[in-house]
């Protein structure tokens, strides 16, 4: 036989002994077809055996973006609350990281991430939010009103006479007395009776705040928020009278006392 490529004459064989071409597969240059287009390796991957590797549906992309918006809003709100709480460096860095992750979810909204990544991101969001709740309980308590406080002013029983005529100076004096009583409570954090009396004083201070005019409340808002932070710290210290909790409670007292000194009714 004669090789169709190089013309070498040899015994009958499917492979040329001279140029090693496969005779059955060889085609002259004029008969050769174009090479098939290169297909990306990712197109050969199949997700039939791994459903978590498939891209998320469009509806879950909105969920992912919504979680980012919520996380960014919560992080910004807590960061702003830090002006009244005196965050530590670790707390500030944690808040910044929380906000950056949320911002990434918003900016990467057009990307259809795999289901596995989406599940991990949502788990991170839930765990990080719970960690914020545990690490910054006072921040979550800022501005939060109980059912009694959010009720109309005329609801309930007749208020005591001293609550019916409230002055800014009287409100500041009550806040100062609350700080002094808080120090006494921290001296004996296990005294349930003293804690109960102090809690009643915090309720009274809140009622006094609600009796102020809108302009007076705006001026006294920092004292009011400081009292909420102090209440949260006192509750934590009496429930767990550790050195760290007691120290945080005293820091809240000092912060509230500074606001009272700076308050000019």
Considering the domain architecture, whether residues 184 and 113 belong to the same structural domain is answered as no
Burial of 44 (0-12, 13-18, 19+ CB in 10 A): exposed
Mean pLDDT to the nearest integer, 168-174: 86
- CA separation for the pair 265, 260 (Å, rounded): 10
Mean pLDDT to the nearest integer, 71-79: 81
Give, to the nearest 10 degrees, the angle between helix 168-187 and helix 243-262: 160
Residue 167 sits in a domain whose CATH number is 1.20.1420.10
- CA separation for the pair 133, 140 (Å, rounded): 7
What's the total number of domains in the chain? 2
> Minimum mean pLDDT among 26-40, 45-59, 71-85, 132-146: which range?
26-40
Does 234 reside within a domain?
Answer: yes
Does 22 reside within a domain?
Answer: no
Considering the domain architecture, whether residues 132 and 169 belong to the same structural domain is answered as no
Considering the domain architecture, whether residues 133 and 172 belong to the same structural domain is answered as no
Does 79 reside within a domain?
Answer: yes
Does 112 reside within a domain?
Answer: yes
Does 11 reside within a domain?
Answer: no
Does 29 reside within a domain?
Answer: no
Residue 118: pLDDT above 50?
A: yes
Q: Each residue of 199-222: pLDDT tens digit?
A: 888 888 888 888 888 888 888 888
Considering the domain architecture, whether residues 202 and 132 belong to the same structural domain is answered as no
Considering the domain architecture, whether residues 212 and 256 belong to the same structural domain is answered as yes
Q: Which of 139, 172, 205 is the last residue of a domain?
A: 139
Task: Tokens for 224, please give them.
Answer: 């009011």
Task: Tokens for 171, please give them.
Answer: 């409100």
Who wins on pLDDT, 156 or 107? 107
Considering the domain architecture, whether residues 74 and 167 belong to the same structural domain is answered as no
pTM: 0.44
Give the structural domain span for 208. Answer: 147-151+161-262
Average pLDDT score, the chain: 76
Considering the domain architecture, whether residues 134 and 169 belong to the same structural domain is answered as no
Does 47 reside within a domain?
Answer: no
Confidence (pLDDT) at 34: 56
Q: Each residue of 230-258: pLDDT tens digit?
A: 888 888 888 888 888 889 889 989 998 88
Residue 129: pLDDT above 70?
A: yes
């Amino acid at each position: 036989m004669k090789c169709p490529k190089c013309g070498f004459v040899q015994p009958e064989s499917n492979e040329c002994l001279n140029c090693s071409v496969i005779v059955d597969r060889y085609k002259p240059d004029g008969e050769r077809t174009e090479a098939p287009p290169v297909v990306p390796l990712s197109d050969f991957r199949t997700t039939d055996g791994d459903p978590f590797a498939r891209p998320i549906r469009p509806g879950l992309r909105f969920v992912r973006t919504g979680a980012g918006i919520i996380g960014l809003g919560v992080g910004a709100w807590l960061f702003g609350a830090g002006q009244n709480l005196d965050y530590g460096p670790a707390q500030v860095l944690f808040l910044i990281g929380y906000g950056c992750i949320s911002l990434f979810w918003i900016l990467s909204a057009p990307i259809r991430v795999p289901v596995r990544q989406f599940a991990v991101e949502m788990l991170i969001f839930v765990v990080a939010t719970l960690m914020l709740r545990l690490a910054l309980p006072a921040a979550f308590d800022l501005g939060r009103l109980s059912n009694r406080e959010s009720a109309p002013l005329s609801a309930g029983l007749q208020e005591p006479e001293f609550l019916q005529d409230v002055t800014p100076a009287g409100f500041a004096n009550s806040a100062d007395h609350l700080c002094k009583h808080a120090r006494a409570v921290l001296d004996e954090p296990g005294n349930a009776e003293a804690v109960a009396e102090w809690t009643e004083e915090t309720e009274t201070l809140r009622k006094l705040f609600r009796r102020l005019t809108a302009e007076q409340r705006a001026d006294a808002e920092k004292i009011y928020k400081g009292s909420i932070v102090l209440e949260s710290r006192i509750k934590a210290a009496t429930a767990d009278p550790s050195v760290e909790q007691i120290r945080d409670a005293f820091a809240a007292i000092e912060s509230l006392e500074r606001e009272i000194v700076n308050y000019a009714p």
